[in-house]
């Protein structure tokens, strides 16, 4: 058989234990035809075969995020200014001002999660005064994790919050001495106030939502992602909010394989939601690119235990068990896989009581079901999950909230939060993901860095050697491991003959670079189903051209998505060139010397950013 595409002169890590390494692959009709050494693979070369040398680049199976809010994120991606990876608050505020100046009335500037103050050189949040100073007239909404949102004065006017606006249940509108809203919304601990306020902002028109979804997929392709399991989300109604991704699938314009879960939207009517949906769609309906995957991650509102480590652990409602049991019984009777958001072991214990009771009447009998997150799950409850045939989808939320967790529960408690090594040792299926776009970054390399190094994005060491994963294991969770969570094990997740030809060629060797450099890895070629969907660097000529961003004022048109370290390095070089008078200074915090300008034309904000990249927050003027 002649291949459609042959890649050779590479270093493929296959995640196939029977053949862990290869130098070449052949692809035919969207699947791997041959995997091995070049002389064997080249036997499949024909007159029409495209042949590409990878110049010794590292190749891996396409990454698969087992818990991503891709559909909702895609509809809004072009509206959002992303602070993922931004090294200093000075940079973040500069980006905010630039975007505020570009954003037309009545649109907002939205920074919607994926960042933490600990990533900044200044190690602090922006103040409301700073936000109002850089954006006095354009509404600005900045979401921080699950715990708070900052609104400038223009945004408060836009959403209509006044002295007379009451606090919603589980939330607080912080007020000044006169009782007027100050611009800070706090989840205590329910995040609904944050998401309900965000939903008040203008939406993109249909054409631009299509463009936004395609831009988000291309951004994920840039990072090596080829598959994702969409975990639903608040304000994501089925089927209305699925229409765009559904049409893209029909038009063969998806560049990420999507398995989607359905997330109940109506408190008190959760069972009715699932009764309706089980009549119109069945798990597995669709194609290898777009298919239904079951229920969750919200099954009933009373079972939601949002992690907000600034607040005490929430106690679930007394009626949780009764409400959850009704839904689970219905799902099992229809053989629907399901997933359930569960942060704390105390919540998991109560949920497992329900599952075990239902299992006695309606056996799970191999049905795939999932706990999402499970940061504090105990060994006893891991055993119970295994006994019922469940899996655990873990995410790098601790990379963004680890400092808060340690402050509340202590460093010893953080050593196994979540206890991934124990899950693997006990034989429970584990898949890795991000829970992006609002809580953590969608960048899989940030997550892989966390798994390997045991550090937060702010640099705090959370885990000792027993809690950190070998790079091979971490990659396996992001590929073969995640395939279980959409019932596609054996179909994808490995570079193996017969499996779907999804792979990424990396900008640097994940298995050789220093730990800190893992965060900067990207893909220089991403292939989905044998089709090149993204290419860069020396391989750029093989990829499709970029898609123009709509609208042209979108933050994506100016700054792209996840902050590129290369952009910062280039800017630093320009700053260095502007420094005409050097003086020697010593950093009293870090104990190292560096050169700064006593009298320089470079703005102090740029110098703040410059030294912040080097990890220094003090200045020697």
Instruction: Report in angstroms the alpha-carbon separations of 276 from 290, 438, 541.
Output: 21, 28, 48
| Residues whose CB is less than 8 angstroms from the CB of residue 32 and which lie 6 or more positions away in sequence, other chains included | 25, 26, 495, 496, 497, 498, 499, 501
Cα–Cα distance, 193 to 295 (Å, whole number):
24
Tokens of 466: 């027993």
Confidence of residue 339 (pLDDT cuts 50, 70, 90): very high
The pairing of strands 148-151 and 109-112 is unpaired
Task: Write down the pLDDT at residue 565.
Answer: 54
DSSP 8-state class, residue 598: S
Q: How confident is the model over 163-173, as pLDDT tens digits?
A: 999 999 889 99
Confidence of residue 106 (pLDDT cuts 50, 70, 90): very high
Cα–Cα distance, 201 to 576 (Å, whole number):
41
- Is the pLDDT score of 573 beyond 90? no
Instruction: Give me the mean pLDDT over the 479-507 stretch.
Output: 98
Instruction: Give me the mean pLDDT over the 379-389 stretch.
Output: 98
User: Which of 547, 429, 546, 481 has its CA nearest to residue 15?
Assistant: 481
The ranges assigned to domains in the chain are 72-198, 206-489, 569-613
Note the Cα 449 to chain centre separation in Å. 13
Tokens of 90: 């000075």
Q: What angle do CA 454, 455, 458 make, to 5 degrees?
A: 170
Task: Write down the pLDDT at residue 569.
Answer: 43
Cα–Cα distance, 602 to 418 (Å, whole number):
44
User: Sign of the CA dihedral 128, 131, 136, 140?
Assistant: negative
Tokens of 224: 């090596």
pTM for this prediction? 0.91
Beta bridge mates, 594: 585
Cis peptide before 189 (omega within 30 of 0): yes
Task: Write down the pLDDT at residue 306.
Answer: 83
Instruction: Give me the mean pLDDT over the 347-351 stretch.
Output: 98
Confidence of residue 178 (pLDDT cuts 50, 70, 90): very high
Share of the chain above pLDDT 70, in %: 91
Instruction: Report in angstroms the alpha-carbon separations of 293 from 101, 153, 184, 236, 414.
Output: 42, 42, 37, 16, 32
Task: Write down the pLDDT at residue 551.
Answer: 98
Task: Write down the pLDDT at residue 616.
Answer: 39
b or e along 26-63 (b: 16 or more beta carbons within 10 Å of the residue's beta carbon)? Answer: bbbeebbbbbbebeebbebeeeebeebebeebbbbbbb
Task: Write down the pLDDT at residue 614.
Answer: 36
Q: What are phi and psi of 460, to 5 degrees?
A: -70, 130
Cα–Cα distance, 158 to 505 (Å, whole number):
45
Q: How confident is the model over 72-83, as pLDDT tens digits?
A: 999 999 999 999
Confidence of residue 59 (pLDDT cuts 50, 70, 90): very high
Cis peptide before 432 (omega within 30 of 0): no
CATH superfamily of 206-489: Metal-dependent hydrolases (3.20.20.140)
Q: How confident is the model over 227-275, as pLDDT tens digits?
A: 999 999 998 999 999 999 999 999 999 999 999 999 999 999 999 999 9
Radius of gyration of the chain (CA): 24
Q: Indicate the angle between helix axes 206-222 and 243-250, nearest 10 degrees.
A: 70
Beta bridge mates, 12: 22, 59
Cα–Cα distance, 464 to 453 (Å, whole number):
9
| Residues whose CB is less than 8 angstroms from the CB of residue 568 and which lie 6 or more positions away in sequence, other chains included | 87, 91, 609, 613
Least confident range from 306-320, 347-361, 398-412, 490-504: namely 306-320
Element holding 273 (H helix, E strand) = helix 270-280
Tokens of 518: 């893992």
Cα–Cα distance, 80 to 555 (Å, whole number):
6
Number of other residues whose CB lies within 10 A of the CB of residue 537: 13
Beta bridge mates, 461: 455
Task: Write down the pLDDT at residue 170.
Answer: 87
Number of other residues whose CB lies within 10 A of the CB of residue 487: 17
Cα–Cα distance, 310 to 178 (Å, whole number):
26
Cα–Cα distance, 337 to 170 (Å, whole number):
30
Average pLDDT, rounded, for the chain? 92
DSSP 8-state class, residue 121: T
Where does 434-589 show beta strands of DSSP type E?
503-506, 523-528, 531-535, 582-586
Q: Give Dmax (Cα) for the chain.
A: 79
- Is the pLDDT score of 546 beyond 70? yes
Cα–Cα distance, 11 to 13 (Å, whole number):
7
- Is the pLDDT score of 317 beyond 80? yes
Number of other residues whose CB lies within 10 A of the CB of residue 98: 16
Beta bridge mates, 261: 294
Question: Tokens 């939502």 — which residue?
Answer: 209
Instruction: Report in angstroms the alpha-carbon separations of 22 from 41, 396, 532.
Output: 10, 30, 20
Number of other residues whose CB lies within 10 A of the CB of residue 380: 10
Cis peptide before 582 (omega within 30 of 0): no
Share of the chain above pLDDT 90, in %: 87
Instruction: Give me the mean pLDDT over the 211-221 stretch.
Output: 98
- Is the pLDDT score of 600 beyond 70? no
Q: Check if CATH label 3.10.310.70 holds for domain 72-198.
A: yes
- Is the pLDDT score of 180 beyond 50? yes
149: Cα within 13 Å, side-chain hemisphere: 32
| Residues whose CB is less than 8 angstroms from the CB of residue 409 and which lie 6 or more positions away in sequence, other chains included | 309
Q: How confident is the model over 115-145, as pLDDT tens digits?
A: 999 999 999 999 999 999 999 999 999 999 9
Which DSSP string do the residues of 65-92 spell out, in sequence order?
Answer: EEEE-HHHHHHHGGGB---TT---HHHH
Cα–Cα distance, 429 to 393 (Å, whole number):
8
Instruction: Give me the mean pLDDT over the 185-203 stretch.
Output: 93
Task: Write down the pLDDT at residue 450.
Answer: 98
Cα–Cα distance, 434 to 244 (Å, whole number):
23
b or e along 121-156 (b: 16 or more beta carbons within 10 Å of the residue's beta carbon)? Answer: bebebbebebbbebbeebbbbbbbbbbbbbbbbbbb
């Amino acid at each position: 058989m002649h291949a459609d595409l042959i890649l050779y002169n590479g270093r493929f890590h296959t995640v196939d234990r029977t053949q862990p390494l290869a130098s070449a692959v052949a692809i035919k009709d969207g699947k791997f035809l041959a995997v091995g050494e070049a002389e064997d693979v080249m036997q499949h070369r024909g007159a029409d075969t495209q042949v590409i040398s990878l110049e010794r680049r590292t190749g891996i199976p396409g990454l698969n995020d087992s818990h991503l809010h891709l559909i909702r994120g895609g509809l809004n991606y072009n509206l959002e200014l992303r602070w993922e990876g931004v090294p200093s608050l000075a940079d973040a505020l500069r980006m905010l001002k630039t975007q505020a100046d570009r954003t037309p009335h009545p649109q907002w500037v939205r920074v919607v999660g994926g960042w933490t103050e600990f990533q900044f050189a200044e190690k602090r949040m922006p103040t409301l005064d700073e936000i109002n100073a850089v954006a006095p007239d354009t509404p600005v909404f900045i979401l921080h994790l699950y715990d708070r949102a900052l609104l400038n004065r223009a945004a408060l006017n836009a959403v209509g919050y006044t002295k007379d606006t009451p606090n919603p249940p589980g939330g607080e509108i912080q007020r000044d001495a006169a009782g007027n809203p100050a611009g800070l919304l706090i989840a205590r601990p329910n995040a609904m106030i944050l998401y309900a306020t965000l939903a008040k902002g203008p939406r993109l028109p249909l054409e631009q939502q299509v463009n936004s979804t395609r831009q988000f997929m291309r951004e994920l392709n840039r990072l090596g992602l080829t598959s994702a399991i969409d975990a639903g989300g608040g304000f994501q109604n089925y089927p209305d909010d699925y229409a765009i991704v559904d049409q893209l699938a029909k038009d063969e314009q998806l560049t990420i394989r999507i398995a989607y879960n359905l997330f109940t939207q109506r408190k008190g009517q959760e069972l009715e939601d699932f009764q309706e949906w089980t009549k119109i769609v069945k798990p597995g309906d669709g194609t290898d690119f777009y298919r239904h995957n079951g229920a969750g991650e919200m099954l009933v509102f009373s079972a939601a235990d949002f992690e907000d480590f600034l607040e005490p652990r929430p106690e679930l409602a007394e009626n949780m068990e009764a409400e959850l049991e009704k839904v689970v019984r219905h799902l099992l009777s229809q053989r629907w896989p399901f997933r359930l958001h569960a942060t704390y072991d105390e919540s998991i214990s109560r949920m497992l009581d329900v599952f075990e009771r239902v299992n006695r009447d309606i056996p799970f009998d191999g049905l795939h079901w999932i706990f999402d997150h499970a940061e504090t799950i105990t060994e006893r409850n891991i055993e119970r999950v295994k006994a019922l045939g469940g899996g655990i989808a873990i995410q790098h939320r601790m990379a963004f909230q680890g400092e808060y967790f340690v402050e509340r529960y202590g460093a010893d408690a953080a050593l196994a939060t979540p206890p991934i090594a124990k899950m693997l040792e006990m034989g429970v299926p584990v898949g890795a993901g991000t829970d992006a776009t609002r809580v953590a970054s969608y960048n899989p390399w940030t997550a892989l860095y966390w798994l390997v190094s045991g550090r937060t994005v702010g640099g705090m060491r959370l885990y000792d050697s027993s809690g950190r994963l070998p790079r091979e294991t971490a990659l396996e969770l992001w590929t073969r491991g995640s395939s279980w969570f959409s019932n596609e094990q054996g179909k994808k997740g490995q570079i193996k003959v017969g499996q779907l030809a999804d792979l990424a060629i990396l900008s640097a060797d994940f298995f050789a670079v220093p730990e800190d450099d893992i965060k900067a890895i990207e893909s220089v070629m991403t292939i989905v189903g044998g089709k090149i969907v993204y290419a860069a660097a020396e391989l750029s000529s093989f990829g499709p051209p970029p898609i123009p961003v709509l609208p042209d004022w979108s933050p994506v048109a100016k700054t792209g998505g996840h902050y590129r370290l290369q952009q910062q390095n280039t800017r630093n070089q320009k700053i260095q060139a502007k420094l005409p008078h050097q003086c020697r200074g010593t950093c009293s915090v870090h104990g190292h010397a560096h050169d700064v300008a006593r009298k320089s034309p470079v703005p102090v904000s740029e110098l703040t950013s410059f030294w912040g990249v080097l990890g220094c927050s003090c200045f020697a003027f």
